[in-house]
Amino acid sequence: MTNNVKAEVKVGVHPNNHSLFVLRRTGILESILKKLGTEVTWVDYEDGARTPQRLAAGEIDFGGTGATPPLTGQASGINLVYVAVSEPRPASGALVVLTDSPVNAITDLKGRRVALSEGSWQTSFLASALEESNLQYKDVERVNLSVRGDEALVAGEVDAWIGNDPHLAALQRKGVVRTIVPVNPYISHRSVWFASRSFATNKPEILDAIVKALQRSDLWLKENPREAAELFARDLPNWPSVDSWEAALRRRPWGLQPVTQEFVLEQQRVADLLARQGLLPRTIKVEDAVLSPTAALGGRTL
């Protein structure tokens, strides 16, 4: 009797990883996996910072976030491995205040309220920028808002907000905020894709298929920003407008890159900083979580 049971891969999806959010809606991965006798289960959730915990629990095999969650995951003993990164995305985030705010520099924020998504890339950014000005993470009052930090800023509930697209693009288009600290040069603000070590080492052909599918989907995003913006606006009705989405999508790079030594060194610098300030439970060696590039990358870019 023929066994018709197919293999399964579980991929995590949340709105802040735009590449995976679109891939989930294209059918590209399903088409590639069909040839490998494998099916994908999409696991939708909101809090991208907890992606490593979902890996550890076996809820997903593969996910994507900013650069901080894999650091906290590795420091917590989660056996994850880096798969790929994006190019730097300096325009897609910033520390902003309202245009009429008395705050003009990060030193003015000592003791003030800053909205951010704790545990995301924003933690690394804020800690790095504060240290540059001889301040500690604890010197500002953080208000943990994984969503709608923009509304808190506009309502005067916080003094500053670490903005992320498309919400940042929306406020910038309205002309109601100004940047006091840009992302660059503190962090490169890359997207990062990672997997459980067991999945990456035991099913390299499936991992390769996911990367290949993401490359194709990102190419479509790059070439069709308006259509992609309409897709986001349709499925996230409480988020910014189509025009804000399009502005956000047009100003970010697309495509997956191999994990480079430059990226590893940046991650190590941030990991050491977070450990010094007690934001990681222990020091880590980032390169312990790096594998060879998957075949689908092959050194190619979009």
DSSP 32-83: HHHTTTEEEEEEE-S-GGGHHHHHHTTS-SEEEE-SHHHHHHHHTT--EEEE
pLDDT at 123 over 60: yes
Peptide bond between residue 166 and the one before it cis (omega within 30 degrees of 0): yes
What is the per-residue pLDDT for 132? 94
Task: Using the predicted structure, report yes or no on whether residue 300 has a pLDDT greater than 50.
Answer: no
Q: What is the pLDDT of residue 297?
A: 79
CA dist 256 and 85 (Å) reads 6
Question: Using the 8-state DSSP alphabet, how is residue 101 labeled?
Answer: -
Q: What is the pLDDT of residues 144-159, one digit of tens each?
A: 998 789 999 999 999 9
Contact 111, 140 (CB under 8 A): yes
The model carries a pTM of 0.93
Q: Are 131 and 187 in contact (CB under 8 A)?
A: no
Tokens of 245: 């989405």
7 pLDDT band, cuts 50/70/90, is: confident
Query: Angle at the Cα of 301 (from 297 to 302), degrees rounded to 5?
Result: 125
Q: Which of 55, 38, 2, 18 is nearest to 220 (CA)?
A: 18
pLDDT at 299 over 50: no
Per-residue model confidence as pLDDT tens digits over 64-99: 999 999 999 999 999 999 999 999 999 999 999 999
pLDDT for res 296: 67
Q: Tell whether the model's pLDDT for residue 294 goes beyond 80.
A: no
Tokens of 212: 């290949």
The pLDDT, as a whole number, for residue 5 is 53
For the CA atoms of 227, 230, 234, 239, the dihedral, rounded to the nearest 10 degrees, stands at 140
Q: Answer whether residue 284 shows pLDDT above 70.
A: yes
Return contacts of 2-6, CB within 8 angstroms, 24+ apart. Answer: 6/37, 6/38, 6/39
pLDDT surpassing 70 at residue 140: yes
At 301 the pLDDT is: 39
Q: List pLDDT tens digits, range 221-272.
A: 999 999 999 999 999 999 999 999 999 999 999 999 999 999 999 999 999 9
**Whole-number average pLDDT of the chain:** 94
Check pLDDT > 90 for residue 298.
Answer: no
Binning pLDDT at 50, 70 and 90, where does residue 291 land?
confident
**Spatial distance between the Cα atoms of 156 and 125, rounded to a whole number of angstroms:** 22
What 8-state DSSP symbol labels residue 111? T
pLDDT at 293: 75
